[in-house]
Amino acid sequence: MADINVTPMVDVMLVLLVIFIMAAPLLTHSVKVDLPNEKAQSAQQDSSPVVLSIDAQGQYFIDNHAVKDTDLSGAFTALAAKSAQTQVHIRADQAVPYAKVAHALTAAQTAGLSKVSFLTQSGGTTK
C-alpha cells in the first residue's frame, strides 16, 4: 500500500513559517509617523488629597477636623470652590453603616467633586 509523502508539505510549511517570522516585525512599523517632542511640563498636583474619615460611631472628620452631618455638604462645597479637581479619599470604619458612606458620596457629588476614592487596609483577614 502506498503511503502519502508529507515531505513537500513540511517544506512548504517551514517556508511559510520563515516568511511570517520575517514579516511580523515589519507590520508593527508599517505607518511612519513623526511624533512631536514633549515641550509641556507635566501637570503638578496643586494640593494633597482631602481625607474624609468616618469613625465607628459615624462621626465625620475632614483632615482630622470633626464635621457634623449637616455641615458635610457645606464643607465639600467650600473644597470644590477652591478647586473642582480636589481629590477626596474616604476612610470608613468597618462598623459604619453604608448609609453614612452613601451620605458622604452624595454630598461630594452634589458639591461637584468627582474624584472620590476609598482607602482600605491591605493584607487584613476577616473573621
Q: Which is nearest to 88 in space by CA: 120, 49, 48, 55?
A: 49
* 109-120 pLDDT per residue, tens: 888 888 888 887
Three cell numbers written together for 19: 516568511
Q: Judging by beta carbons within 10 Å of its beta carbon (0-12, 13-18, 19+), is residue 56 exposed, middle or buried?
A: exposed
Residue 79 burial by CB count (10 A; 0-12/13-18/19+): exposed, middle or buried?
buried
Q: Please name the fold of domain 50-118.
A: Nucleotidyltransferase; domain 5 (3.30.420)
CB 76 within 8 A of CB 40: no
pLDDT tens digits, one per residue of 83-101: 878 889 988 888 888 899 8
All cell numbers assigned to 29: 512599523
Query: What's the whole-model pTM score?
Result: 0.58
Tens of pLDDT, residue by residue over 18-68, are 999 988 877 665 556 666 676 655 555 556 888 889 888 888 998 888 889
Determine contact, residues 33/67, Cβ cutoff 8 Å: no
Residue 66, exposed/middle/buried by CB under 10 A (0-12, 13-18, 19+)?
exposed
pLDDT at 114: 84
CA Rg, the chain, in Å? Answer: 30
H/E segment holding residue 39: none
Position 68: which residue type? K
Per-domain boundaries in the chain: 50-118
